Structure formats: structure tokens, C-alpha cells
Amino acid sequence: MALIHAEVEKDYLKKKLTEGKIKPLGPVPELTSKDIEEATRIVAVMGTHSHIKALEMGAGVIIAGRSNDPAMFAALPIKEGYDPGLALHMGKILECGAMASTPGTTSDCMMAYLREDCFMVEPTNPMRKCIPSTVAAHTLYEKSSPLHIIGPEGVVDVTGCKFEQYSERAVKVSGSKLNKSETINIKLEGASKVAYRTICIAGLRDPIMIQQIDECEKHVRDTV
């Protein structure tokens, strides 16, 4: 069994900050020593590298701290020599369960089959199925660029991807390519105490979903 910690020591981060090794990720302010000191926790979002090292050391079970979404799915295939671009893209699809199927949900499972030049995804629940548009749509999920999946390993370019119906319930994906980074870049995430009360307001503006609101409500009630 392997235990991988993700929390980073504050003194180590301050040293890296002084050395100019910490850069803003997107349109966020520069990290300061004060930010580091006031944080209650700071974690490094690991990719596949740490998981692969644990597997190479013989771990059959890995208990890891903060990892990016594809890491746990892509680490073993990459270790075994499969194409890292396909493996990371596959992990991106699997990370939300059956969300990439129809009807989509995070409360169900998805199965993936990885080959040398493609991968297939298929929901385990027979009431669901994958179609090219649902799998392609999930490729866009939680990303700043529709064509790039950015992680510690580099950038997975999906510009040349093909999403094809493989069977009645499975979709075949091919063409994902990893452009490796010269260095491993790790995202830092931190939290500090600001307040103790949160108000969340949600609204629904999607006309397609609004037209099916009764069906959606029934599905949620049946699921709960």
C-alpha cells in the first residue's frame, strides 16, 4: 500500500516563491508570503507521476491526497506503455462517472477499454448509453480551452479527435495527442479562513432543460 501526501510545507513554498518558481495560473493575483502564511492548508495537485512511482514500487493500493481528475485512471495505462494522450483523455471522461452518457449522471459508473490507437467508453448501467455528442461534450467540461486538457504532464491536444459510435451503447475516441512539458508544472490550491456563512443561489436558464423540467425532477426524485 502507498500513501501519497499532497500538503506542502509553508517554508518550502516560501523558498520557491523567493526563487521565482511560483507563477499565477490564469488571471489570478501573484501569490505572496502573506497568502502562504495565512493559509490553513495548501496542497499540490499531483498528476500521474506520483501514482506511477507508487505502482513501480509495488503498491497494489494507493491512498493519495489531492490529484487532478485523470491521474488515478491514466497512471496504470501510462506505466504499462499505453499512449499517454489517450490515457489522460480517457481519464478525463471517466472522472465524472456516467456524466458522459445519456441520461447523464455522476451517480453511476462508466467502463473504458484502452487500445493502442483509441479508447472506448460505455456506461455499466444498461439504461444509459454513450453517443458521440455526450462524450465530446464532457471533453469540454471544466476546461478553459475546448481543445486542450492541461495537466502536469503537458497539454493533451484534442484538435484532431474523432468521436465515433462503436456500438449501441459505446463510443470510440481516437486522435488525442499529448504535447509533453519540458518541466512538470504543479498547480497549488489553498484555503484560508474568511467567514463562516455561505449563501448559494442557483438558477436555471437552459431552455432545453427547462422544457424537460418535469422529467428532470422525476428522475432526481426516483434517484434519491
Are the CB atoms for 185 and 49 separated by under 8 Å? no
For residues 38 and 141, the model is more confident at: 38
Q: Which residue's C-alpha cell is 462503436?
A: 166
Answer for the pair 161, 139: CB distance below 8 angstroms, yes or no. Answer: yes
Give the 3-state secondary structure percentages of the chain, helix then strand then coil, rounded to 5.
30, 25, 45
> What residues does each domain of the chain span?
2-223
With bands split at pLDDT 50, 70 and 90, how would you rate the model's confidence at 195? confident
Rounded Cα–Cα distance for residues 30 and 20 (Å): 11
Residue 186 confidence (pLDDT) above 90: yes
> Which strands form 177-180's sheet, in the order they lie side by side?
148-151, 154-157, 177-180
Cell numbers at 65, concatenated:
491526497
Whether residue 224 is predicted with pLDDT greater than 80 in this model: the reply is no
Q: Tens of pLDDT along 111-133? A: 999 999 999 999 999 999 999 99
pLDDT at 199: 83
The grid coordinates of residue 121 equal 467508453
Q: What is the pLDDT of residues 67-111, one digit of tens each?
A: 999 999 999 999 999 999 999 999 999 999 999 999 999 889 999
